[in-house]
Amino acid sequence: MSKLELEDRLLRIEQMLGATKEVLTFDEACLYSGISRSYMYKLTSKELIPHSKPRGKFIYFERS
């Protein structure tokens, strides 16, 4: 199996695992919603999208 095929399989596995999570990290939320990182930061800073920062650094989102 080539390196490209392995990377493709790994990506598909990661996407399947991410589909079952209820709480998403910032990067996962960007991928899930299709929103760019810069726009997502803008939405969170203006409190236009529900999110949480439990320890003040990392941003999390509920899938719902």
CA distance 37 to 56: 18
pTM listed for this prediction: 0.67
For residue 52, the model assigns a pLDDT of 94
Are 43 and 49 in contact by the 8 Å Cβ rule? The answer is yes
Domain of residue 15, residue span: 3-62
For residue 19, the model assigns a pLDDT of 64
Task: Return the amino acid letter for 17.
Answer: L
Number of domains composing the chain: 1
For residue 12, the model assigns a pLDDT of 78
pLDDT tens digits for 17-32? 666 778 889 988 888 8
Q: pLDDT band at 15, cuts 50/70/90? A: confident
Inform me whether the pLDDT recorded for 16 exceeds 80. Answer: no
Are 29 and 63 in contact by the 8 Å Cβ rule? The answer is no
